Amino acid sequence: MDLRKSPRLTELLAASYVVGTLQGRARRRFMQMLRTRPWLSRLVRDWEDRLLPAVLGDRPRAAPHWVWQSIAAQLPLASPAASRHLRWWQTPLWPALSGALAVALLLVWLWPTPSRMFLTGVLTNPAGKPTWVIRANRHHMRLSTLEPVSVPAGHAYQLWAIVPGRQPISMGLLPTQPGQSPVLSAPQRIDMKSVQMVAVTMEPAGGSPTGQPTGPILFKAYLVDS
pLDDT tens digit sequence for 28-80: 888 888 888 888 888 887 777 666 665 555 555 555 555 566 556 655 555 55
Whether residue 144 contacts residue 44, with contact meaning beta carbons closer than 8 Å, is answered with no
Using an 8 Å Cβ cutoff, are 170 and 156 in contact?
A: no
Choice among 105-109, 187-191, 208-212 with the minimum mean pLDDT: 105-109
CA angle 36–26–29, rounded 5-degree value? 25
Contact 149, 125 (CB under 8 A): yes
Which of the four pLDDT bands, split at 50, 70 and 90, describes residue 110?
very low
Q: Please check the confidence at residue 89 and state whether its pLDDT lies above 50.
A: no
Phi, psi of 18 (to 5 degrees): -70, -45
* All domains in the chain, ordered by first residue: 3-55 (no CATH), 65-74+82-110 (no CATH), 119-225 (2.60.40)
Query: pTM value?
Result: 0.54
8 A C-beta contact, residue 109 and residue 57: no
Cβ neighbours around 60 below 10 Å, total: 14
DSSP per-residue codes, 124-136: E-TTS-EEEEEEE
Give the bridge partners for 130, in sequence order: 124
pLDDT digits 0-9 by tens, 136-195: 888 888 888 988 888 999 999 999 999 998 999 999 899 988 888 877 778 777 889 999
